[in-house]
Amino acid sequence: MKILIYSFATTSYFFRELVQLLLKEGHECFVIILHGQYKDFYKNVLDSQNVLYLYENFDSEFKVYNDISFCFECDNIFKILSSDKDGYIHEDSLFQLNCAQTIYNLYKNFLLKKQPEIAIFPDVETIDGLILINLCKALKIEILYTVHMRMLGTSFFSCSNYETLPNYFGDYTNEDIKKARIFMSKFQAGELSAFEYYQSNNNPEDKNIPIHKPCLFYKIIKFCYIKLKYEKKYRGEDHLYQKMKVNLLPLLNVSRKLRYYIVSKKYFHINSLFDLPNKYVLFALQYSPESSINTMEQFFVDQIRVIDLLRFNVPDNYWIVVKEHPAMRGVRCAYFYKQLRKKPGVLLCDPTLKSKDLIKQASLVVTVTGTIGLESFLLDKPCLMFGSTFFSHLRSMFNSYNGLKTQIYDLIFNYKPYTYDEKLIEIAKLYNISGSFIIIDPIKFPFVMRQSNIYNTYHAILKHLRRLKNNYENSH
């Protein structure tokens, strides 16, 4: 099998091990690298002709295009560019389009030359990654996009960055029901968190493959060298200022705590459950900028758009309670809260209050793509979502501005929650498509480099492809 790997950032440590396993099993592999720091990662693993470092010849390929030419079937280039978090958005629009066209051309030439059958992606956070996904779709290359269901502790492969469920979704076994029952029990006992990545294997004998990180001085020298030689036109979010922030995080946390203290005293209305109004719609802000919203629902990255839609369509005697994301304490600028403070009908809620308690008292929960949507499902509360996720089929999806008022009224006054058995089946269906593997940053989450995780990922790939094939054969 001919397999393409999008070896993004630090996931390169993981993918290098996976590639070696794939080669050992007789598969042919090609790798695309975005960052120059990982340019030589596959030097002793793959032939250099099978590795594309995007920016190696970027400057010579870059030119000012009189017209843009993209062959995409799903997202257009303007939507893709709007997913940028902190890079291209600061540049002139024509420069953005010319960079996108160059990326597209380099990727297309590589794919046509190598002709992979499948493409494996981690969670994609960059414009070039989204261009590659849409290009693979246009060229009929099967996409395996990794989605980690944090609360369930498992992952599955989607055909898109919108966490679309695989076409064989819907089956479940007795074993899946058992897993779902354990999950439900843990959730009700408060043992699960939406913000923690689950470690699928706690076997002490299953040791991590060591990661050899270069010293900070060497990293700085290499970063400057690569930036000057190759990546002059690269505009990703991992710029020098961002890298300095990461290395100065302890100092930043001190300033963030101070900022949060000032902001909470000045702008937050609700500091305890006793401050909650009798009738309210709960809107949970998401961490931003972040791939969970930037690459999945670009229009509502500005979450004030959602808040205004709610204000204009809820019943007169209902408040909009806005809860900040716990990880955004002291991160979001004070001006954002100042804007919300001036909007009639909006009450700002302290992010330290437990989401479960707020959900239980709310008449309706609203989110763009947040995990609070799944929590509300489990807590028997109606939820309105503005973006697609792996669980959005269990929630009500925003359809149109004109129909929003009717949709909100119907959810508040006519919602019928799922029974326990129905919830059990829906969770079992999710377990059925997933496996015990995870592909995320192995520096931050060392358990990613466990031997078992690499083997589990490999077998999950084979199982997914086999199920896709069986589903296709059964439907024809």
**The token pair that represents 31 in the structure block:** 């790798």
User: Picking from 9-18, 144-153, 255-264, which range would have the lowest pLDDT averaged per residue?
Assistant: 255-264
Q: Are 2-209+425-475 and 261-370+382-416 in the same CATH fold?
A: yes
Query: What is the spatial distance between Cα 364 and Cα 409, in angstroms, rounded to a whole number?
Result: 10
Residue with the two structure tokens 């009798």:
278
Global pTM reads 0.92
With CA atoms as reference, report the closest residue to 233 among 10, 58, 398. 58
Give the model's pLDDT for residue 178: 97
Which amino acid makes up residue 317?
A: N
- Residue range 261-370+382-416 in CATH 3.90.76.10: no
Query: 437, 158 in Cβ contact below 8 A?
Result: no
Task: Give long-range contacts, CB 8 A cutoff, 24+ apart: 139-143.
Answer: 139/108, 139/111, 139/112, 141/4, 141/111, 141/116, 141/117, 142/117, 142/118, 142/465, 142/468, 143/118, 143/119
Residue 125 has pLDDT above 90, yes or no: no
Query: 32, 110 in Cβ contact below 8 A?
Result: yes
> What are the extents of the domains in the chain?
2-209+425-475, 261-370+382-416
Residue with the two structure tokens 């408040």:
319
User: Picking from 41-55, 92-106, 238-252, 317-331, which range would have the lowest pLDDT averaged per residue?
Assistant: 238-252
Residue 205 has pLDDT above 70, yes or no: no
Residue 105 has pLDDT above 80, yes or no: yes
Task: Give long-range contacts, CB 8 A cutoff, 24+ apart: 406-413.
Answer: 408/281, 408/310, 408/313, 408/314, 408/364, 408/384, 409/315, 411/364, 411/382, 411/383, 411/384, 412/281, 412/315, 412/318, 412/363, 412/364, 412/382
Give the model's pLDDT for residue 249: 61
CATH of 2-209+425-475, one of 2.60.40, 1.10.443, 2.40.170, 3.40.50: 3.40.50
Query: What is the spatial distance between Cα 265 and Cα 267, in angstroms, rounded to a whole number?
Result: 6
Residue-level length of the chain: 476
Maximum mean pLDDT: which of 121-130, 219-228, 404-413: 404-413
Give the model's pLDDT for residue 36: 87
User: Picking from 21-35, 258-272, 377-391, which range would have the lowest pLDDT averaged per residue?
Assistant: 258-272
Residue with the two structure tokens 């004070």:
334
Q: What is the pLDDT of residues 314-362, one digit of tens each?
A: 999 999 999 998 888 888 888 999 999 999 999 999 988 999 999 999 9
Give the model's pLDDT for residue 26: 97
Torsion of CA 341, 343, 345, 346, to 10 degrees: -40
User: What average pLDDT does the segment 110-139 reach?
Assistant: 96
